[in-house]
Amino acid sequence: MKILSRPKGNAEEYGRWSVNPYIGCSHGCLYCYLKKGPSGAYLGQDAPVLKKGIVNEEHAYHLAMTEIIANRDEIISDGGLFMSFTSDPCAPETRDLFYRIAKESVCMDIPCTMLTKVSGIERIISEIARGLDYEYTHAGNIAIGWTLTGHDELEPGASTNADRILTIKNLKEKYVCGGAIRLWASIEPVIDFPSSLDMIYQALNAGCQHFKIGLLTNNTRVVRKPFEFGEHKFDAYKVIDCMHFIEDVMRLTEGKATVYWKQSVRDLLETIYTPAAVDELLNFPHFVGKGWSMFTSDVR
């Protein structure tokens, strides 16, 4: 039973190593990719459970740390650990194990990135930060991000987007000092461009330092037709709207935050423009590439 994995495709744009002791999630997001395909019944469970073969959380912790220690140098070289692709690492059912793994990993100089839809976790996250503040070589090696779509109706079991943004603001203003934690947001999937732009505006004002932006995909291909989730219907992406969105994001974030445009955005633009033309469109200093790291700002 392995807990570490090496993501491929769209997932690799978030991290080259991921920690996945749980499968399933209680957020009930209508667009969840884990619920799709032949493995959806297993991966897309409605509550997090430990993967088959893992006895309990203590067993999961020892399995994870054994794998992390064995691959430490390569994980660091590849930019650190991502938690998690198969569950929410900050959910009440999963957070104790993920926080324990993250704290131990960071103390081995392994950067750790989390992505969540849970609010109200300021105190817990700040305790990790305070513990690391005493080890100055480790401070800044945790990045926590929130998925922001602006569509609460598609995420019925998650904290509201407004509460997630409030958590970012509270962490920035009340708990995080000296860059102990890096704050970021995943604007994926973009359900519609105006909602996503509003989320970026609010998250930026709350203290986000970095954004990853991606479109809704079917497996690895951009959804090109109008899409719907039950009674909720949305228009297909238009290239011209995407271009205006990119220009708006550029003006909004310039000098304030970095932006990574996921391959799905490039794929949509390349239905009309050449790859070289897309490169030119995204040619701004704070628009970063795939090799950019939140932790070092260096190409890895």
Report the pLDDT value the prediction gives residue 269, as an integer from 0 to 100: 97
Same domain, 111 and 205: no
Same domain, 172 and 82: no
pLDDT digits (tens, 9 = 90+) for 249-286: 999 999 999 999 999 999 999 999 999 999 999 999 99
pLDDT digits (tens, 9 = 90+) for 180-213: 788 999 999 999 999 999 999 999 999 999 999 9
Evaluate whether residue 158 is within a structural domain.
no
Sort 227 into a burial class: Cβ within 10 Å, 0-12 / 13-18 / 19+: middle
Percent of the chain with pLDDT over 70: 90
Same domain, 91 and 135: no
Same domain, 105 and 129: no
Report the pLDDT value the prediction gives residue 178, as an integer from 0 to 100: 53
Report the pLDDT value the prediction gives residue 155, as an integer from 0 to 100: 97
| Coil, helix or strand at residue 289 | coil
Same domain, 39 and 91: yes
Same domain, 44 and 138: no
With tokens 């399995």, the residue in question is 63
> 19 lies in which domain range?
1-116
Residue 130 — pLDDT band, cuts 50, 70, 90? low
Residue type for 249, please? V
Evaluate whether residue 104 is within a structural domain.
yes
Kind plus residue range of the DSSP H or E element containing 221: strand 221-222
Domain boundary among 73, 101, 116: 116
Determine the angle formed by the axes of helices 95-106 and 57-70, rounding to 10 degrees.
Answer: 30
Evaluate whether residue 132 is within a structural domain.
yes
pLDDT digits (tens, 9 = 90+) for 164-176: 999 999 988 876 5
Entry pTM: 0.92
Same domain, 5 and 43: yes
Percent of the chain with pLDDT over 90: 72
When the pLDDT of each residue in the chain is averaged and rounded to a whole number, the result is 89
Same domain, 78 and 131: no
Same domain, 132 and 82: no
Answer whether residue 134 shows pLDDT above 50: no
Distance between CA 59 and CA 232 in Å, rounded?
42
Domain boundary among 97, 116, 135: 116
Evaluate whether residue 26 is within a structural domain.
yes
Answer whether residue 295 shows pLDDT above 90: no
Nearest to 185 by CA among 27, 294, 78: 294
Report the pLDDT value the prediction gives residue 174, as an integer from 0 to 100: 72
Same domain, 270 and 185: yes
Nearest to 34 by CA among 44, 24, 26, 48: 44
Same domain, 133 and 250: yes
Report the pLDDT value the prediction gives residue 129, as an integer from 0 to 100: 63
Evaluate whether residue 153 is within a structural domain.
no
More confident residue, 40 or 252: 252
Distance between CA 100 and CA 29 in Å, rounded?
26
Evaluate whether residue 249 is within a structural domain.
yes
What is the total count of domains within the chain?
Answer: 2
- Both tokens assigned to 53: 């073969």
Same domain, 14 and 63: yes
Answer whether residue 154 shows pLDDT above 70: yes
Which DSSP state fits 86? S
Evaluate whether residue 85 is within a structural domain.
yes
Evaluate whether residue 107 is within a structural domain.
yes
